[in-house]
Amino acid sequence: MPNKAVKPHPEPNKKLTAKSMQKTLFLDRDGVINVNHGYVHKKEDFILIDGIVELIRHANQLGYLVIVVTNQSGIGRGLYTEQQFLDFNDWMLDSLLQQEARVDKVYYCPHHPSEALGNYAKNCECRKPKPGMALNAINDFGLDISAAIMVGDSASDVEFAVKANIPEIYWLSSQHEAFIINYHCATTVTKINNLREIHLN
Ligand SMILES: [Mg+2]
Ligand SMILES: [Zn+2]
């Protein structure tokens, strides 16, 4: 009898704990995973950025969900089809996996508000810097955005992460000039020159 009294509502507590422990690493693709030659969609143009395999592998080991968020207006612009993108994406994920680096999910935006063709021409909610892809990830995985990190190489990645309330941002940039973050928010933006400067906990 006394033992029962010390375990009040175990189910809700368990759920909350599981959710709050799910850490997530959000990665931009072009310029973070692979060298950005512009609209990369062929194997021969795919060159890994130094340190990305180790970063993803380490995130896997630490229990992070690894999620790629990538604008792919090349689809909407008719430079490659959505199927070509998906085939290339499968190949990329396989080749990373062969190096023991697992990406759990890739979100992509094929749209562009003015330059895309047909149904791809729209002012969508998923194109960065809008936070739609992060919101979808939160929905799909029930993840805790307060335990998320974003790694990007462009201002739109930073803005995306700020809008999504991702509290920790790494801005990968080889540019020497300093930049100023004007966002009045709790987000920490750290400028790095190399992915090996990122230390996950
Ligand atoms: Mg990029
Ligand atoms: Zn979109």
DSSP code of residue 49: P
Range of 15-19, 39-43, 106-110 with top mean pLDDT: 106-110
Mean pLDDT of 95-122: 97
87 is catalytic: no
Cα–Cα nearest to 133, from 166, 102, 100, 101: 166
Domain count, the chain: 1
157 is catalytic: no
Top pLDDT among 186 and 171 is at 171
13 domain residue, yes or no: no
Give the confidence band of 188 by pLDDT, cuts at 50, 70, 90.
Answer: confident
Ligand 1 centroid to Cα of residue 201, in Å, is 24
State the Cα angle at 74 between 68 and 79, rounded to 5°.
Answer: 140
5 domain residue, yes or no: no
115 domain residue, yes or no: yes
Render pLDDT for 118-140 as a digit per residue (tens, 0 to 9): 999 999 999 999 999 999 999 99
Ligand 1 centroid to Cα of residue 2, in Å, is 58
2 domain residue, yes or no: no
Least confident span in 64-68, 83-87, 190-194: 190-194
The environment of the single-atom ion ligand 2, i.e. residues with CB closer than 5 A, is 109, 111, 124, 126-127
Tell whether the model's pLDDT for residue 4 goes beyond 80. no
15 domain residue, yes or no: no
Cα–Cα nearest to 45, from 13, 5, 88: 88
Please tell me the distance from the alpha carbon of residue 201 to that of residue 190, in angstroms, as a whole number: 16
Question: In terms of residue numbers, what domain contains 185?
Answer: 24-32+40-197
Give the confidence band of 173 by pLDDT, cuts at 50, 70, 90.
Answer: confident
143 domain residue, yes or no: yes
CATH code where residue 180 lies: 3.40.50.1000
Contacts 24+ apart (CB under 8 A), 113-119: 115/73, 115/76, 115/77, 116/73, 116/76, 116/77, 117/76, 117/77, 117/78
59 domain residue, yes or no: yes
**Ligand approaching nearest to the C-alpha of 154:** 1
Q: And the tokens for 123? A: 């002012």
Mean pLDDT of 49-58: 98
Render pLDDT for 58-75 as a digit per residue (tens, 0 to 9): 999 999 999 999 999 999
